[in-house]
A and B are shown apart, each in its own frame.
Chain A
Amino acid sequence: MNVEHGRHVVRGRCPRRLRRLPRSIFRKMKELVAVAAGIIWLTGLVALMGHGDMAVRAQGFAGLGTRADGFAQARAGVRPVFPRDHGAHPDFRIEWWYLTANLKDAEGRDFGVQWTLFRLALRPGEADGWQSPQLWMGHAAVTSADTHRFAERRARGGIGQAGVRLDPFTAWIDNWVMTGADDLSRLRLAARGRDWSYNLELRADGPIVLHGDAGYSVKSPDGQASHYYSQPHYRASGRLVLSGRDIQVSGDGWLDREWSSQPLSADQEGWDWFSLRFDSGEKLMAFRLRGDGGDFTAATWIDPTGEATALPEGSFRAEPLTPAKQGGHRTPVRWKIRLPDRGLDAVVEALNPHAWMRTSVPYWEGPVRVNGTHTGVGYLEMTGYD
């Protein structure tokens, strides 16, 4: 299963609606969802995996918010152990290895790169061959000011088509690879779509950052949480092939690692997530979870030395400015963000407003610029606007 940019219009919720229509209409419309057809039955599953850092459609997957069915639970006070925790946690329901990079070519043009590997367990644990309960999904994208290319890969666990192992650290699905030192200080990153590809070398010049309470990141007032850490200090360089051109690029990368079995509260419908790198050398990870009972925000402030501070719930404020209307989606691609604790008051603006990931479940993910009290670049992910 493979979804390429611009070729098929696929909407995550569409198949569900179609199923309620008479069969004949469903058949006619099958053309439209041709490539997505295989995954229709996987919709519920993909909803879990569909978003960068958080499942959007938790409501559609009732089991997630309420039960854990023998899965391990994220617990406060359990500090990650490295390099062990760079590897997979098959007893947890969901997990991801999520890398984004802001890059420039020799002429100063901006590019963004995304490389994500999701793991989802149908049951806790692992088994050999096709009997494995683990499923894997990869998303990769290259974005410039006027072009956005992406692809999706899916795989079963247990057979070696996708997975994560240590010694040396390697995360892979098909021929998409993220591999390097077991302490994640160096990484090589590669992905390839129908008519684009990239190869990057990343080198960390700072420490790993634990979010929340020593890596225990609370996601709702009800106590839903995940284990969450980042390596935000990568220097990146390499080559992109995009629009038929081979481009030398360099810049900065950010790796997120998160795993959980119950990441969302049932009423939370979407999520806006920022990873920003300021010219001052400071960095910010912040998210806003949109729920019926109001927003839940959290943030981590990282000073130039790599020292991280978790900021209390509610201290980060994000306000959508200009909605970019795209294929029926009203997605805010300009934001006003404020963090009074740190004197931050700035506007975040998408490099390319059309950076939609039209994957099994669509979301917006792309590079951004920051202007205001602080200037810089970063990545923005927005879910639940489809």
Chain B
Amino acid sequence: MTGAALHTLLSHWRRHPLQLFTLLAGLALATALWSAVQAINAQARASYAQAAAQIGANAMDRLEPADGAMIPLDTYVALRRAGWLVTPVLEGRARLGGEKLTVIGVDPVTHPSLPALDDAAGALSPADLIGPPGRVFARPDTARRIAGLPGMPPVIASDEVPPGAVLTDIAVAERLLGQRGQLSRLLLLPDQPRGLRRLAEIAPELERVAPTARSEIARLTDSFHLNLTAFGLLSFAVGLFIVHGTVGLAFEQRRQMFRTLRALGLPMRRLIAVTLAEIAGAALLAGLAGLALGYLVAAALLPDVAATLRGLYGAPVDGGLSLRPAWVLSGLGMAFVGAFIAGGQALWRLRSLPILAAPGARTWAVGAARNARLQATVGAALILAGWLVLALAGGLIAGFVFLAGLLLGSALLLPAALGLVVGGAERLARGPVTEWVWADMRAQLPGLSLALMALLLALAANIGVGTMVKSFRLTFTGWLDQRLVSELYVTARDDAQGAEIAAWLAPRVDAVLPIRSVERRISGMPVFVYGIIDHPTYRAHWPLLQADPDAWDRVARGEAVLVSEQFARRTGRWTGATVALAPDWRLPVAGVYSDYGNPTGQMILSLPALLAHVGAVPNRRFGIRIAPDRVPGLAEALRRRFDLPEDAIVDQAEIKARSLAIFDKTFFITGALNALTLGVAGFAILTSLLTLWSRRLPQLAPVWALGLTRARLMRLEVARSAALAGLTAVVALPLGLVLAWALLAIINVEAFGWRLPMHLFPIDWLRLAVLALVAASVAAVISARRLVRASPSTLLAVFSNER
């Protein structure tokens, strides 16, 4: 009996292959986008974990200064002399071969385990490793890029080193970073001797931090991954709308079949079990297909995501994707969850199906109208709840909760809103055909509402994210123009050559602006401290967000600093606050400037003041002010005079182009997911119209019988579909703008640390609206063409089949 029941149920799909395709494709698409995002996240997190494991940060407690400063070497020695078994790590960012890399310096004599060094141990003597010149370990791709650079020790390729980093002896690291006598952190070895003086007595400024599975970089990039996850969930939700519609329809069409099976003696429990098995089978099939698709999408996107993470956060992520059980399971799980969410409502109705009640053709629509009121109430409640969370809690998660409530709530409100509009139009309509058109549209609404909700979400997301990215790009371009004022930028091989170049340039150009910085941890945040000379260029062009009136004078006198917006937001130190650059060196903040696209904090102060407090500040990069027409000649002369490599001299246009390229790469993933979501929504409309077709025929046949031609009916079909899409687009616009505002004013600030002005792009909206109309029209044409092709006998058969 079970077999027969299953066979009967499945026969439905044989007769409706398109429905089956829609079901599987919808579920597969939803799973694909979700699992692609998960795969990317899993890969990135695995890279962070590897980076942490490489330097033992995952296994050992560490000591860090509570105020985020550097640790003096003397503190390390004092701890050692007190008997504590600690090992030092010096970490910093250095530009090696035009690329910013993390230099990790360790002391192999006291460090317990370094896989990269172990692998190379056989071929190297200790003198080779400690140098000079020493050895540098890097991943094979990094090794190729940095090998043979001037001042670079021999490079050894090792897969054990995290991407974007080089591992080396601490003495070599000091030379590469231009830092002496300072440490980033200390690792506490296991098995400390008993009876030592307490750590807090010897080094009260150090904080003992237990090892966490999550590295600092993982925490830093949390917001980015949360962003991706939110996008994945949105795509998943859009996909689910398709599945929900299809499953609902398939159950509706099989009521007759269910009743017959029950009448033949199939117990309800068995029927439900068989139905569940059917849904599970579909979920498994679609889940596997979705995983395969998701893998492809992830593999295609990962290199750019990796570039984004490197560019934005300096996070080391490998460009290659590996299959991980975690996301395979999560993808399949999501397919099952989605299928059962989509089928749940139908199953519930099946449970209470009376064996003998006749199916009312209109009951569905009536029920739907009641549903629409309920949905609207729930929708309004969701929006309110999201707003309350944002108002009360704040923060990134609250921002996303607000967005989720807003989007889902608006989608649920959509049928009611459309119903009102169409109902109003119906009342205004004159003439039987017009009245019928509006009434029919209202009757069609419940069937199409899910597809329209998907369209609403996709359109709103596109408008919102598009507005955010474009506003950002506009602001960023303007900011680049302001910030990059030097006509030429030159990088010397080392400090000595830097001094030579500066001296050579001085009489030949309008101004030489040294770009000199040191990396510090200030208030718990990595910060690049730039020393600048007092030059009108800065006063005229530096993009200040807020400042004291005499800010530049005070900076020039070495009495104040300017800090970047990221630093101000993350540490809460705005104009008027004080920052501690060193334990004995505190300066007030005279102003805050914007510094988009920078993962670390930044501050600028007077170069003489910086040099007075910090011994070794690399002196290798310069901005040159010169008449634009003299740039090519000077660049050539510089190259010849100092034998500089091609990329050591870059003009302003090139740097801008590079910066914009990095920017565009950063938002590549956003754009790609956006397009995919819109595609899914278009597909949802098409499938909804196609699956509704079987029900349309009995509704259209009487109208045809009353004298409307098939061609006119088809035109009316297309117009109706386009009108609904158009109405949805109109609702989507304000929703999208609210979304954009939330992204710019809440999510960006929390995730990246900068707030952006919002710009409007009406042309984009128009394009999107046209796209929505076209998608709806095409979908309507594809399904309505059957009407034109339908022979009169088919239409007549509708009446003979009527029960």
Residues of A within 8 A of B (CB): 1-2, 4, 7, 15-16, 19, 30, 34-35, 37-38, 40-45, 122-123, 129-131, 133, 135, 151, 154-156, 159-161, 172, 174-175, 192-195, 197
Contact = CB atoms under 8 A, between A and B. Distances in A.
28 contacts: A1-B109, A1-B111, A1-B112, A2-B191, A7-B191, A15-B121, A19-B121, A30-B118, A37-B114, A40-B118, A41-B120, A41-B126, A42-B109, A122-B127, A122-B130, A129-B73, A129-B180, A130-B174, A131-B171, A131-B174, A151-B193, A154-B109, A155-B80, A155-B109, A159-B77, A161-B77, A175-B80, A175-B196
A155 B77 CA distance: 10
Interface in B42-85: 73-74, 76-77, 80-83, 85
B118 A37 contact: yes
B83 A155 contact: no
Contacts of B81: 160-161, 172, 174-175
Which of B80, B124, B170 has the most C-beta atoms of chain A within 10 angstroms of its own C-beta? B80
Contacts of B325: none
Contact of B193 (A7, A19, A154, A194): A194
A193 B192 CA distance: 8
Given A154-B109, A156-B107, 8 more contacts: A37-B112, A38-B114, A42-B109, A42-B126, A44-B125, A129-B171, A159-B76, A161-B80
Contacts of B196: 175
Nearest to B83: A175
B679 interface: no
Contacts of A30: 118
Contacts of A161: 76-77, 80-81
B181 interface: yes
A197 B193 CA distance: 9
Interface size class of B (residues with CB under 8 A): 35 or more
Interface string B2-27: 00000000000000000000000000
A123 B133 CA distance: 12
Given A2-B189, A7-B191, A19 B122 contact: yes
A130 B126 contact: no
A157 to B, nearest CB: 10
A258 to B, nearest CB: 21
Contact of B108 (A41, A151, A160, A192): A41
Contact of A155 (B110, B121, B174, B195): B110
A43 B171 CA distance: 20
A155 to B, nearest CB: 7
Contacts of A15: 121
Interface string B167-211: 001110010000011000000010111111000000000000000
A383 B494 CA distance: 49
Contact of A41 (B74, B82, B129, B195): B129
A45 B130 CA distance: 12
Nearest to B170: A130
B132 to A, nearest CB: 8
Nearest to A27: B115
B250 to A, nearest CB: 51
B111 A38 contact: yes
B113 interface: yes
Contacts of A38: 108, 110-114, 117
Q: Lowest 3 CB-CB distances: which A-B pairs, in order?
A: A41-B121, A175-B83, A130-B171
B107 A130 contact: yes
A40 B194 CA distance: 27
Q: Is the interface of B mostly helix, strand, loop or mixed?
A: loop
A16 B112 contact: no
A45 B125 contact: yes
Interface of B: 73-74, 76-77, 80-83, 85, 107-114, 117-118, 120-122, 124-127, 129-130, 132, 169-171, 174, 180-181, 189, 191-196
Contacts of B110: 1, 38, 154-156
A283 to B, nearest CB: 34
Contacts, number: 110
A121 to B, nearest CB: 9
B109 A156 contact: yes
Contacts of B195: 192, 197
A266 to B, nearest CB: 17
A174 B192 CA distance: 13
A330 to B, nearest CB: 28
Nearest to A46: B126
Contact of B113 (A19, A34, A123, A192): A34
Which of A40, A45, A154 has the most C-beta atoms of chain B within 10 angstroms of its own C-beta? A40
A41 B117 contact: yes
Nearest to B124: A41
Which of B114, B122, B129, B195 has the most C-beta atoms of chain A within 10 angstroms of its own C-beta? B122
Contacts of B76: 159, 161
Contacts of B113: 34, 37-38
Nearest to B105: A130
A122 B126 contact: yes
A135 B109 contact: yes
A237 B74 CA distance: 33
A382 to B, nearest CB: 26
A15 B112 CA distance: 14
Nearest to B175: A131
A197 B194 CA distance: 9
A2 B110 CA distance: 8
Contacts of A45: 125-126
A122 B180 CA distance: 21
Given A4-B191, A192-B193, A175 B82 contact: yes
B180 A194 contact: no
B193 to A, nearest CB: 5
A351 B189 CA distance: 33
Nearest to B129: A41
A186 to B, nearest CB: 22
B363 to A, nearest CB: 67
Contacts of B107: 130, 156
B108 A193 contact: no
B109 A194 contact: no
A274 B620 CA distance: 60
A129 B129 CA distance: 16
A381 to B, nearest CB: 24
A40 B171 contact: no
A151 to B, nearest CB: 8
B198 to A, nearest CB: 14
Contacts of A130: 107, 169-171, 174
Contacts of A160: 74, 77, 81
Contact of A16 (B114, B120, B122, B174): B122
B121 A40 contact: yes
Contacts of B174: 129-131
B335 to A, nearest CB: 35
A23 to B, nearest CB: 8
Nearest to A7: B191
Contacts of A44: 125-126
Given A37-B118, A174-B80, A135 B180 contact: no
B156 to A, nearest CB: 11
Contacts of A155: 80, 109-110
Contacts of B126: 41-42, 44-45, 122, 135
